[in-house]
Homo-oligomer: A and B are copies of this chain.
Amino acid sequence: MNFINKLSAAWTANNSLLCVGLDPDLAKLPRDLQGQPDGIFTFCSRIIDATADLVCAFKPQIAYFGALAAEDQLEKICRYVRDNYPHIPLILDAKRGDIGATATQYAREAFERYGADAVTVNPYMGEDSIDPYLAWQDRGVIILCRTSNPGGSDLQFLNAGGVPLYQHVARLVADKWNKNGQCALVVGATFPEELAQVRAIVGDMPLLVPGIGAQGGDIAATVGAGQTANGMGMMISSSRAIIYAQPQADEDFADAARRVAIDTRDAINRHRAS
């Protein structure tokens, strides 16, 4: 089953548009896990177990593993998802951007080494920086379009031939780069009007939407702007607000993550078309 179909199935099976981001900052792990050699894996696998029935995808952020020389633990986490929750799409958040032979190496890293169903990539280097990933026809390529940070406007909001650059990127992907129906876009939740613009351009293409939770995006506006006619079409990503949820009295960190994930999934679902 390819990425887009696997994602659709997960939306339906779990009745959820929530994507849990795995950004394991060592300083924020529970103290008893900080000193363990496999502490990051233990932390993430417990979050995964606690939320797997609530999500449409898991999204580990590779930067956190690279900084800690913990690629072996990322491999274990990816294998854990594939072995235990094979119906849940696994997105490697890596925002890769390079060309030709180098892009092929990044695709191998994401799709073969880590076995990810999809990887995030950067459009700045153009179509031949995206093409190498498309050779893995059952995988997804999620292209940065409109990012949720303030500086996102520096380039993405420039007027490029009459439309903001991010809309030009959305059109390029929808009309040209998405040759085999493998593509999705990253569009931040902090700009709901722009999310609606992208949705109007790309039809039913899936959108990965970071920016709710710690970054402050409004859930009602986000869902209203980004969903497809049948209430699907989005992977709404939350990382820190869920994985570092503040435990209540006698509550375990994974139970706290589950509680916040339920709240977030439900808040999203209240605004979905049915």
Q: A149 and B25 in contact (CB under 8 A), knowing A64-B105, A125-B144, A155-B123?
A: no
Residues of chain A from 98 to 155 with CB closer than 8 A to chain B in the complex: 98-103, 105-106, 108-109, 112-113, 122-130, 144, 147, 149-155
**A172 beta carbon closer than 8 Å to chain B:** yes
Q: How far is A160 from B100 in the complex, measured between Cα atoms in Å?
A: 26
Q: Assuming the A-B contacts A124-B124, A129-B151, A151-B125, are A63 and B113 also in contact, with contact meaning beta carbons closer than 8 angstroms in the complex?
A: no
Identify A160's interface contact among B122, B147, B160, B169, CB under 8 A. B160
- The interface centre, meaning the residue of A105, A106, A129 with most chain B CB atoms within 10 A of its CB, is A105
The distance in angstroms between the C-alpha atoms of A53 and B153, with both chains bound, is 44
Given A71-B71, A124-B124, A128-B150, decide whether A66 and B109 contact each other with a Cβ distance below 8 A: yes
Q: How far is the CB of A169 from chain B (nearest CB, A)?
A: 7
Interface pair A97/B95, CB less than 8 Å apart:
yes
Shortest A178–chain B CB gap in Å is 14
Is A200 in the interface zone, CB < 8 Å from B?
A: no
What bracket does the count of chain A residues touching chain B fall in?
Answer: 35 or more
Interface majority SS (helix, strand, loop, mixed), chain A? helix
Bound state CA distance, A188 and B63, in angstroms? 27
B126–A153 touching, CB < 8 Å: yes
Docked pose: A61 CA to B109 CA in angstroms: 13
Most chain B Cβ neighbours within 10 Å, of A128, A154, A156: A154
Given the contacts A23-B101, A69-B113, A101-B23, A152 and B123 also touching, CB distance less than 8 Å: no
Q: Name A's B-contacting residues (CB within 8 A).
A: 23, 25, 61, 63-64, 66-67, 69, 71, 75, 95-103, 105-106, 108-109, 112-113, 122-130, 144, 147, 149-156, 158-161, 165, 168-169, 172
Q: 3 tightest CB-CB pairs across the interface, nearest first? A: A126-B151, A126-B154, A128-B151
The contact sample of 16 A-B pairs, CB cut-off 8 A, is A63-B98, A66-B109, A71-B71, A95-B97, A97-B122, A97-B124, A99-B149, A123-B155, A124-B124, A125-B149, A126-B149, A126-B154, A127-B151, A128-B151, A129-B151, A155-B165
Q: A63-B96, A160-B160 given; name 13 further pairs at CB < 8 Å.
A: A23-B102, A25-B101, A61-B105, A122-B124, A124-B156, A125-B147, A126-B152, A126-B153, A127-B151, A129-B151, A130-B151, A155-B168, A158-B160
